[in-house]
Amino acid sequence: MTAKNLLVELFVEELPPKALKKLGEAFSAALSASLKKDGLAGDNAVVTAYASPRRLAAHITGVSAVAADKPVVQKLMPVAVGLDASGNATPALLKKLAALGADASAVAGLRRENDGKADILFYDSLAKGATLAEGLQKAVEAALAALPIPKVMTYQLADGWSTVNFVRPAHALVALHGSDVVPVAVLGMNSGRATKGHRFEAAVDPVVFADADSYAATLLKDGSVIASFAERRAEIVRQLEAAAAKAGENGSAPLRPIEDDALLDEVTALVERPNVLVGQFEEEFLAVPQECLILTMKANQKYFPLLDAAGKLTNKFLVVSNISPEDASAVIGGNERVVRPRLADAKFFFDQDRKKSLESRVIGLSKVVYHNKLGTQGERVQRVAAIARAIADHLGGGALTQQAEQAAVLAKADLLTDMVGEFPELQGIMGRYYAQHDGLAADVADAIEDHYKPRFAGDSLPRGRVGTVVALADKLETLVGMFGIGQIPTGDKDPFALRRHALGVIRMLAEGDLDLPLYQLLDATFARFNGIEGFQLNINALADFIYDRLAGNLREQGYTAQEVDAVVSQRPQRLGDIVKRLAAVRAFSALPEATALAAANKRVGNILKKVEGTVDAVVDNALLKEAAEVALHDALVDVVPRADAAFVTGDYTESLTALAALRAPVDAFFDGVMVNADDPALRANRLGLLAKLHAAMNQIADLSKLSA
């Protein structure tokens, strides 16, 4: 039978907006996967997902009414068991065939095949292909069961007796194969060809589909619904840009809507046919920090604030409405009335908060629990301030230490303000505004906001040295504190965002090229946790955690696994050197001598590992007997000072390149010298020579990691 396109739609009450996109993708993916598995859809079938606030749908091309019969091979039993001496079927064979739906007439057609031990009987048959009705019933049930629903609800069906469980009550099911309805029943509904359109603006009710391919066009024409999530999103973007341009026509500069992909996705999931309108509020509210106004408009009202060319908030905003009346003034006026109390609340919070200084709020942190094993926020602030002071002293002291300590003490004070209490997302941001109001230095105010940075992957780093110091102190305190009480991330669980904190420390140390050895930082931080009962820290385990994050981050930047392993396995203490070390390794790898030297380094490492105790890199010239070991020693005497000098100046590429001269003497040494000589003194001297070679070759990176 000729394949036709298939359309399945589940019409429900309003779905959770933040989950809609994933629900639509999951529904179509599970549906098509099940049909493909049953042979009803080909591997090259094109799947189109649809998702609107009140429907999930999928369009799948090339779906067969009946799947092709499948050959089935059934292994039965050894010939010696299934057939007697006369070649007749034994009772065991007949019983097995009966279980498969065959009888004694099938014995003659059984296939024999040797499995390497004995001749085996095989029964070849054809399994009847599934019908679309059977396959789609199973596919829809599987798709609904696989939906990533955070919480289901139980509701009663129209019969007043039966109940079903689903994310929202379902009201209609469409299943069309070409123009034919496929009989399917789920959630107490039987499939048909009719659905509901826009709740208020559908041209007809119900909306009836002639065939599967007319779904999107019919729903738009008769139902006033843009079924595709992507198309609806694109239409919202188009209207936002057009409305922003129009709103800025009478102003001195063009306007643009704020960019927020999450908000755009959420709004797309709230409307079936978008209509963007322009609203405005009183300019007096612009005296409030724009972050507060933007957040309240986005989070509470789902509006798109309008910014000028400089990124400054204006008193205009965009509303994505789900209705398109001829006169939109009532809709605009209603939204303006709704947003005004929100903005008034923000202004009230801002005005009230500024009546108290940040410094006066610090004492209140002693009443706020940070963690039941680590004390209050007040105690935490004291630790962070002490860590910041130690870091600042190492980086130069003076004004840096004074400002870093001041910023660290005040960094969490805005947690006790009304504004942050209402909008926790503004912590740090509001602290900066209040610090400016208190007349604090710009570096201190900036540090209060920036100590949370980087907040996420790709976020900017603190803008100044003071902010960097406080941000480092804050993240190190969190890492050491949580590791010290056993709160170590496992699998995908990381409730305290320790992976993000570790990456933040790495970025600040590396990108800032700070002269702060990692272990020294961890030791200094650990010292601030004295007196906490049950606190135990394995610094090496925490360092491993940080270096693992570093390795992953470097691989994401495009460095090869070998390059990263070669550098990170050496546990470099100054992370600002990492990029230079990687560049040196890459340059070394391009040398013709690199492969041989990497292999030799691996061989030297293996030899030294087998020696009991520590091998000192000390050589007695009088015990150098063979010409090859003399040549290697002479080469080391020549090369090592040059490599060391380049290493000290930070020219790692030159330091590694100098090692290329060792290839010939190293090869000659292994070809002509027996390291494990019978004479203990001779053996110890040759091991010392190898230890000296090993130390010279692994200052910058473990070159053995470059060996294939």
501-535 pLDDT tens trace: 999 999 999 999 999 999 999 999 999 998 888 89
3-state secondary structure of 496: coil
333-360 pLDDT tens trace: 999 999 999 999 999 999 999 999 999 9
Q: Is the pLDDT of residue 481 over 80?
A: yes
User: How many CA atoms, within 13 angstroms, populate the side-chain half-sphere of residue 542?
Assistant: 29
Which of the 8 DSSP states describes residue 131?
Answer: B
pLDDT the model gives residue 150: 75
User: How many CA atoms, within 13 angstroms, populate the side-chain half-sphere of residue 658?
Assistant: 24
pLDDT the model gives residue 708: 61
Q: Return the minimum-mean-pLDDT range out of 237-246, 266-275, 488-497.
A: 488-497
Query: Do the domains 368-558 and 578-706 sit in the same CATH topology, yes or no?
Result: no
**Domain residue spans in the chain?**
4-67+131-223, 70-127, 229-353, 368-558, 578-706
Q: Could you tell me whether strands 313-321 and 207-208 are parallel, antiparallel, or unpaired per DSSP bridges?
A: unpaired
* Domain 578-706, CATH class in plain words: mainly alpha
- The position carrying tokens 């004070």 is 413
Q: Collect contacts of 576-579 with beta carbons under 8 A, ≥24 apart.
A: 576/509, 576/510, 576/512, 576/513, 576/514, 576/515, 577/650, 577/652, 578/510, 578/550, 578/554, 579/510
Contact 526, 541 (CB under 8 A): no
pTM over 0.85: no
536-556 pLDDT tens trace: 999 999 999 999 999 999 999
> Edge-to-edge strands of the sheet including 313-321?
256-257, 304-307, 313-321, 275-280
The closest of 234, 293, 301 to 264, measured between CA atoms, is 234
Q: The domain 4-67+131-223: what is its CATH number?
A: 3.30.70
Q: Is the pLDDT of residue 626 over 90?
A: no
- The position carrying tokens 């999951």 is 26
- Residue 59: what residue type? H
Contact 419, 405 (CB under 8 A): no
Average pLDDT, the chain: 92
Contact 7, 57 (CB under 8 A): yes
- The position carrying tokens 């809507």 is 257
660-683 pLDDT tens trace: 899 999 899 888 888 888 888 998
The closest of 428, 516, 512, 430 to 476, measured between CA atoms, is 516
3-state secondary structure of 556: helix
Residues 6+ apart with CB under 8 A from 235: 226, 274
* Domain 368-558, CATH class in plain words: mainly alpha
**Burial status of residue 555 (CB atoms within 10 A of its CB: 0-12, 13-18, 19 or more):** middle
3-state secondary structure of 312: coil
The closest of 229, 307, 315, 309 to 272, measured between CA atoms, is 229
What's phi and psi for 393, nearest 5 deg?
-60, -40
Which of the 8 DSSP states describes residue 534?
Answer: T
451-468 pLDDT tens trace: 999 998 889 999 999 999
Q: What is the Rg, in whole angstroms, of the alpha carbon atoms belonging to the chain? A: 36
